[in-house]
């Protein structure tokens, strides 16, 4: 029986750690926060940026600004300091050939997720790519998944594949 399979993007389909971590350091420096260890910086890969910036001491009233600062480096440079994991393309091809419906559900902005997947020629494998809305109406992973399931009707035993709980 064909299943609907939802994939996270960062840390699941692509290794985006380098770009994300460099941009996090860039934004933290703006607030005078010293660069954490590489292990600590890895916590930026996956969850919404506002949650992670808050854990590193960015004041709550500055979280949206921190994301803007982060994106000043991420949009032109950081998003392409990234590469698909070995075997991802072959996996996606096999899953499609086996009749599965494939989707992306990520807390990364939707427009950016589409551009990254197109850049790596992976977008063609997905029936829908769903990410965070630019107006913050859909900025948690739960909201993204709920929206995706509602929009595409991925009701056949959907499975979520990702790197975080």
The predicted-structure confidence for 133-157, as pLDDT tens digits, reads as follows 887 778 788 888 888 888 877 666 7
pLDDT at 155: 63
User: What value does the mean pLDDT take over residues 89-118?
Assistant: 93
User: What value does the mean pLDDT take over residues 26-33?
Assistant: 97
Catalytic status, residue 8:
yes
Residue 3 predicted with pLDDT over 90: no
Confidence class for position 78, pLDDT limits 50, 70, 90: very high
Looking at per-residue pLDDT, the higher value among 21 and 10 belongs to 21
- Whether the CB-CB separation of 136 and 112 falls below 8 Å is answered with no
Residue 9 predicted with pLDDT over 90: yes
The active-site residue out of 8, 10, 15, 34 is 8
Burial of 16 (0-12, 13-18, 19+ CB in 10 A): buried
Average pLDDT in the chain: 91
Phi then psi dihedrals of residue 88, to 5 deg: -65, -45
- Whether the CB-CB separation of 130 and 146 falls below 8 Å is answered with no
Q: Residue 22 corresponds to which tokens in the numbers above?
A: 């460099």
- Whether the CB-CB separation of 12 and 161 falls below 8 Å is answered with yes
Four-CA torsion 50, 126, 13, 49, nearest 10 degrees: 0
Q: Residue 84 corresponds to which tokens in the numbers above?
A: 């698909």
């Amino acid at each position: 029986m064909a299943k609907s399979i939802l994939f996270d993007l960062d840390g699941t389909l692509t290794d985006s750690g380098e770009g994300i971590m460099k941009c996090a350091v860039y934004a933290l420096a703006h607030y005078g926060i010293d660069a954490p260890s590489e292990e600590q910086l890895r916590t930026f890969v996956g969850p919404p940026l506002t949650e992670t910036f808050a854990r590193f001491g960015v004041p709550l009233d500055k979280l949206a600004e921190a994301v803007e600062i982060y994106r000043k480096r991420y949009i032109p440079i950081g998003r392409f300091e990234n590469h698909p994991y070995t075997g991802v393309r072959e996996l996606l091809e096999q899953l499609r050939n086996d009749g599965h419906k494939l989707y992306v559900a990520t807390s990364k902005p939707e427009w950016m997720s589409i551009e990254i997947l197109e850049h790596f020629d992976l977008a063609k494998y997905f029936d829908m790519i769903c990410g965070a809305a630019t107006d913050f109406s859909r900025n948690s992973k739960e909201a993204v998944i709920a929206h995706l399931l509602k929009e595409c009707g991925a009701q056949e035993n959907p499975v979520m594949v990702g790197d975080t709980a």
